[in-house]
A = this chain, B = another copy of it.
Amino acid sequence: MPDSKNNVPKVKRVTMAHGSGGRLSRELIQDLVLKHFGHPTLHRLEDSALFEVDGVRLAFTTDSYVIQPLFFPGGDIGKLAVTGTVNDLLCVGARPLYLSLALILEEGFSLDKLERILDSASREAGEVGVEVICGDTKVVQKGKGDGIFVNTSGVGVVPADLDISPRRIEMGDAILVSGPIGDHGISILSQRESFGFASQLRSDCASLVSLVQGVLDPSLGVRCMRDPTRGGVGTILAEIALDRQMGIQVDEEQIPVRDEVRGACELLGLDFLYIANEGKMVLFVAKGREQEVLSILRKDPLGRESTIIGQVVAEHPGMAVLRTKIGGSRIIDLPTGELLPRIC
């Protein structure tokens, strides 16, 4: 949950909060990683990096998956490793082409489970038309891993005329989300803790290829897309407001959240804004074009519940603000502590 900015202890060791996707993750990356690696593309910290070779524009991204449990309602680590990396490529407007698949296996891990995971990754890749073309397998001793960690990196091709990036966001842009938020995080939590309250809930884990490709035509005015995984929609809104020094305002009443997710969050004192998603997209769309984009998104099976949740405003630059149902407002800050560890 968000905490006061001055309360962050100066740790000398890695903590779980460094992996939360929130403020400490950001500090770790900015203080340590970016200090050593100077490429401006890396410094943009977008979901995928863009580069050009002989006039061809390509996107490149990487993600390690350390989720627990490995199998969950709606997916498993294999499916997730494909959808997560595919969605990161989609965020910059790329057409996903190829994936790498690198496994770190713990001694003693069941080969049957491994087979189920590979089968699931393979099905998902086949469905969205990406090909796994390289891989690696390492084994660590029992007690030095956690069953299986998966890394997928991905390469895609970006059309010449397309520029989808937080740098393009402008005042007045509408903010859309492609469906109910928090399903993945609460589904994992429910599975992990054997809570009954969300027994019908499934992770939203899905590749958004068709959803995204439907709105890529530059004339539609989609300026930025972000994949609200670890850290949720709240972290993305806070980051963009901060990085672009723009004001963001969203309406609680407009944000789609399933009853199970809302109930679980109330019970556990969690904020659905920060709960992970694995099959949703947040879109920033030029003012006046949002209704058209919304109607296209809603035609896609994975976007039927798309909603306009807010806009980019002139007030409070650098800050994302939630207008609550009861008419108040509160700051959407970067989360400081550990929300739900190992959620992706």
Residues of A within 8 A of B (CB): 11-16, 18-19, 25, 28-29, 32-33, 35-37, 39, 41-42, 48-49, 51, 53-56, 58, 60-66, 97-98, 100-112, 114-115, 118-119, 121-122, 125, 131-141, 143-146, 149, 151, 153, 155, 157, 341-342
Contacts and interface: CB of A to CB of B under 8 A. Distances in A.
Copies of this chain held together in the complex: 2
A60 B100 contact: yes
B100 A62 contact: yes
Contacts of A58: 53, 58, 155
A131 B64 contact: no
A136 B112 CA distance: 28
Given A111-B11, A125-B37, A51 B98 contact: yes
Given A60-B155, A104-B104, A131-B39, A14 B54 contact: no
Nearest to A84: B136
A23 to B, nearest CB: 14
Given A42-B132, A51-B133, A133-B39, A15 B139 contact: yes
B18 A66 contact: no
25 contacts: A14-B111, A15-B107, A15-B139, A18-B137, A28-B137, A35-B118, A36-B119, A37-B101, A37-B132, A39-B131, A39-B132, A48-B134, A49-B100, A58-B155, A60-B98, A61-B100, A62-B136, A63-B136, A64-B103, A100-B153, A102-B151, A104-B149, A143-B143, A145-B146, A149-B149
Contacts of A137: 18-19, 25, 28-29, 33
Contacts of A105: 14, 18-19
Contacts of A64: 102-104, 136, 138, 151
Contacts of A125: 37
